[in-house]
Structure 1
Amino acid sequence: MKKITDSVYSVGAVDWDRRLFDSLIPLPDGTTYNAYLVHGSEKTALLDTVDLAFADMFLASLEEVSRIDYVISHHAEQDHSGAIPLVLSRFPEAKIVVTAKAKGLLMDLMRLPEDAFIVVADGDSISLGEKTLTFIHTPWVHWPETMVSYLVEDKILFSCDFFGSHIASSDLFVTDQCRVHEAAKRYFAEIMLPFRIIIAKNMDKLADYDIHMIAPSHGQIYDQPGWIMDSYAEWVSALPKNLVALPFVSMHGSTRRMVDHLGSALSKRDVGVELFNLAVTDIGKLAMSLVDAGSIVLGAPTVLAGPHPLAAHAAFLANALRPKARFLSIIGSYGWGGKTVEILAGMIPNLKVEVLEPVLCKGLPKKDTLAALDGLADSIATKHRESGFGI
């Protein structure tokens, strides 16, 4: 248990070893499962719990707590809710405070009884005696049932996944803003980018509150929260940057030559470009680039008459994340034929993009292929300039 203020304590757990989340998302820096205890003069509230794998550590941090009246469950996903049944076993008088949608999910996921819940509407409050928690519904951050809590007297926002970052650290508060900024952007890119328009509306709701501190459910606490809120405002904005995200894979070097040529051509035209070799890349880095990119160019060789599976995976990821890119193209080499462009185009129905003329070549790229790549670079530079994309 670590003290945040005279009435607020951190009671979560640090997972130094975790390297994959949801069997999908890379965690290069581990993570934390943050939970918080708020003491009022009359009642005590526990805000979220931890992943079940860390339940023993979590319950040990509550050994000196004699009573919990409320368990505030901001989000039903198991890394936050996993230890709720154990908390109720130790504190049977506690009630779980949730949104209506969270109640149903927790009954399904945790097999909790219906009479264990108190459902709160958007804007409702609960008094702990001299401390007041106000609940703000924030759907699709990043599930439909999510909410956040605002401790009125201390001006603390308990934001759950909102503003979170996967960093294992013994530091309670942010000590390295650059490191946390990158981790928070990765976190946003991997789970929140598809919902950025709704998240922008949720941020507008937070503007009504005087927030001096943000305590998320993953990562460190922001005791100077302005910069992370400004970062989110940029990430959810409609206008992308003058940047091309270029994920690619190359089997025998032909597609790689095309990628290198296009990357150089874009740079000469003052267009930013980020290359991601899908055979070795951290997919989280690609997701971060998609937060900003104005264009996506996919480098895909043809194998078995279609796109290389790694290129198909990148297309599937981009379609799922729904980035704000406005333009897309495909480049790559083939041996005798195939339907690479048609297959990839069919995999991205969620992307509201203008498709620029693909550049494909048979075997090694020749002068006409390189000239076509220069033409693609010209087209991208012109489109970005006309669209007003910033660097």
Structure 2
Amino acid sequence: MKDNVFLLGAVDWNRRLFDSLIPLPDGTSYNSYMVCGSEKTALLDSVDPCMADVLLSQITDVAKIDYIVSHHAEQDHSGSIPMLLEKYPDAKVVCTTKARGMLMDLLHIPEESFHTVEDGATLSLGAKTLEFIYTPWVHWPETMVTYLREDRILFSCDFFGSHIATSDMFVVDKGRVHEAGKRYFAEIMMPFRDVIGKNLEKLKKYDIDMIAPSHGQIYDDPAWIMDAWRDWVFAPPKNLVVLPYVSMHESTARMVDHLTTKLVDNGVRVELYDLTVTDIGKLAMSLVDGATIVVGTPTVLAGPHPLAAYAAFLANALRPRAKYLSIIGSYGWGGKTVETLSAMIPNLKVEVIDPVLCKGLPTKEVFAAIDVMADTIAEKHREQGFS
């Protein structure tokens, strides 16, 4: 990367699910970095334990590592530290004070192996100076990043990350990486948007020539990805309705189609997600921008369809900045779909627009009610100035 600064780690071309939850359509990487000073050597982050052998094979000729920097205690970054300590028993694990306890609990690293650092602390390697910056809730409470002063490199761990498996060290396709970065932000970082905003502001005082995340490619032109994160964190919602839905016997599907057409006629963009086939990462990306969420669901055993309930649970967990919410759907004899879904979204600070439910196939009266919903959404978007 630079003189005496090296990218190590492993590319996981075949992994398609992260945390048994998050789709990985393009695989991922676990980036580890080595910084060699004139006196000391530091390894920044490790790799997921499933690929520890790849990392260890890269350092067979490295006689000594003095420091192992753990930016984040989660296993995909720190899980191989115990194996590294077997090879380098005198190495010290450098981390935040909060991370020490977490690493002891999660990985059973002995207390005497740690060297904890406070926010803003520095560590000289000889001709290379590491500065540690606390970045809590990006995306766990113990996280930090490291700034290499002489080379102006920010080792950002999950900050500015993207799940992409590639042979390229540096970003070569900004469009692809922008989409992957937005997916990463949506799936992992969005619930912590407010705190992340403070951490973005904290980084303004640093001259950053390069960002080296722990997932994805290295940014040798970092301004554009930092601007993208500022947009995802600070910009208001857009003139967009996010419409996840499921339909069993076409009733809900007809309502969804009618609402979509009416919204588009009113100048409102719509992104539809058929929950029987959709990629939840794509849905999460839309939630970054959407001003309104409308859930479409039939009634199953007196409540919402389980896939619709999952979409509501996901939205509640991700805490998007949407301002409005509603429900459309159908039922056979009755139920408590609206009440059940409403109870599942306590984290969303939204105004609820009157739901539209129908018994069986929608009638002209139902379509008229959907027209009112679309007009209401469009008017509210205009009043807020969403574009």
Give the TM-score normalised by structure 2.
Answer: 0.99
* DSSP 3-state at the match of 2:234: coil
Q: Which amino acid aligns with 2:114?
A: F
* DSSP 3-state at the match of 1:274: strand
Query: What is the aligned partner in structure 2 of residue 87 from structure 1?
Result: 84
Query: What is the aligned partner in structure 1 of residue 7 from structure 2?
Result: 10
Gap runs ≥5 in structure 2: none
- Please point out which of 134, 138, 153 is paired with 1:137: 134
Deviations 1:278-336 (A, max 9, x none): 00000000000000000000001101010000000000000000000000000001111
Deviation of 1:66 (Å)? 1.5
- Aligned pairs for 1:198-237 (under 5 A) are 198-237=195-234
How many Å separate the matches in 1 of 2:363 and 2:97? 61
Consecutive aligned runs of 4 or more in structure 1 exceeding 6 Å deviation: none
Task: Answer whether contact 1:238 1:324 (CA < 8 A) is retained.
Answer: no
How many Å separate the matches in 1 of 2:137 and 2:369? 42
Q: Which amino acid aligns with 1:137?
A: Y
How many Å separate the matches in 2 of 1:218 and 1:64? 25
Give the TM-score normalised by structure 1.
Answer: 0.98
Deviation of 1:92 (Å)? 1.2
- Please point out which of 23, 31, 34 is paired with 2:31: 34
Deviation of 1:338 (Å)? 0.3
Aligned-residue Cα RMSD (Å) equals 0.6
Q: Which amino acid aligns with 1:38?
A: V
- Please point out which of 328, 331, 334 is paired with 2:331: 334
Deviation of 1:238 (Å)? 5.1
Query: What is the aligned partner in structure 1 of residue 261 from structure 2?
Result: 264
Query: What is the aligned partner in structure 1 of residue 109 from structure 2?
Result: 112
* DSSP 3-state at the match of 1:12: strand
- Aligned pairs for 1:14-25 (under 5 A) are 14-25=11-22
How many Å separate the matches in 2 of 1:248 and 1:122? 45
Q: Which amino acid aligns with 1:105?
A: M
* DSSP 3-state at the match of 2:206: coil
How many Å separate the matches in 2 of 1:290 and 1:249? 18
- Aligned pairs for 1:332-371 (under 5 A) are 332-371=329-368
How many Å separate the matches in 1 of 2:93 and 2:377? 52
Is 2:181 the counterpart of 1:159?
Answer: no
Q: Which amino acid aligns with 2:263?
A: L
Gap runs ≥5 in structure 1: none
Deviations 1:126-163 (A, max 9, x none): 01111101011001111110000000010000000000
Q: Which amino acid aligns with 2:121?
A: D
Query: What is the aligned partner in structure 2 of residue 121 from structure 1?
Result: 118
Percent identity over the alignment is 70
Query: What is the aligned partner in structure 1 of residue 93 from structure 2?
Result: 96
- Please point out which of 238, 242, 250 is paired with 1:241: 238
* DSSP 3-state at the match of 1:154: coil
Q: Which amino acid aligns with 1:8?
A: V
* DSSP 3-state at the match of 1:192: helix
How many Å separate the matches in 1 of 2:59 and 2:153? 21
How many Å separate the matches in 1 of 2:243 and 2:126? 55
Q: Say how many residue pairs are matched.
A: 387
